[in-house]
Amino acid sequence: MAQNIKLEVVTPEKAVVDEEAKIVVAPGSLGEFGVLSGHTTFLTTLKTGIIRYTDANDQEHFVFVSGGFAEALPDKVTVLAESAERRRDIDLARAKAAIERAEKRLAAQRQKESLDFTRARAALERALQRLNLAETR
């Protein structure tokens, strides 16, 4: 039985994805998980990472998410994220610049443990994930 499940990815600025999908794979904070139609209701936070889904025409899609959480219902998956981009929308130059910036900051902060350190690490993580996704086409 190949029933479809509705996938919605929304950020505070816009709705990024609103589509029917066959399967959705998302990076939960305790591990990656897949959702098919009929999934039990489920709520989890997400890591910075990539959501993978297959649409009704068997086309595979990738969406970058960061700072989000996901709710799975039997017929619907909702992802609320602070930022989310489809693969084709990723700004490669910006991600590369962000990596450089974050690395510089990390190097400068290495000695003293501080808030900037964790922030820079998070920024690096985001940029790397974006770059990864954009370059695997």
Partner 1 sequence: MPSLKDVELKISAVKKTKQITKAMNMVATSRLRGAQNNMENFRPYAGKFAEVLGSLAEKAGDEASPLLIPRENARKIHIVLCTSDRGLCGGFNVNLIHKAQAFMQEKAADGVSFSFTNFGKKGRDWCRNNNQERVSEHLGIVGSKIGFNVASTEGRKLVEAFLADTYDEVYVVYAEFFGMGKQVPVLKQMLPIPPIVTEEAELDADTPYLAEHICEPSAENLLSDLLPRNVYVQLFSALLETSTSEHAARMAAMDNATKACNDMLEDLTLMYNKARQTAITAELMDIVGGAEALNG
The residues of the shown chain that bind partner 1, judged by CB under 8 A, are: 8, 10-15, 28-30, 40-45, 67, 69, 71, 73, 78, 80, 82-83, 115
Max CA separation in the chain (angstroms): 56
* 3-state secondary structure (DSSP) of residue 50: strand
> What token pair was written down for 21?
């999908």
Helical residues (DSSP H) of 31-91, grouped into ranges: none
Nearer to partner 1, 42 or 135 (CB): 42
CB of 133 to partner 1, least distance (A): 20
Start-to-end CA span in the chain (Å) = 30
Torsion on CA atoms 34, 39, 43, 46, rounded to nearest 10: 10
* 3-state secondary structure (DSSP) of residue 56: coil
CB of 132 to partner 1, least distance (A): 21
CB of 119 to partner 1, least distance (A): 9
CB of 57 to partner 1, least distance (A): 25
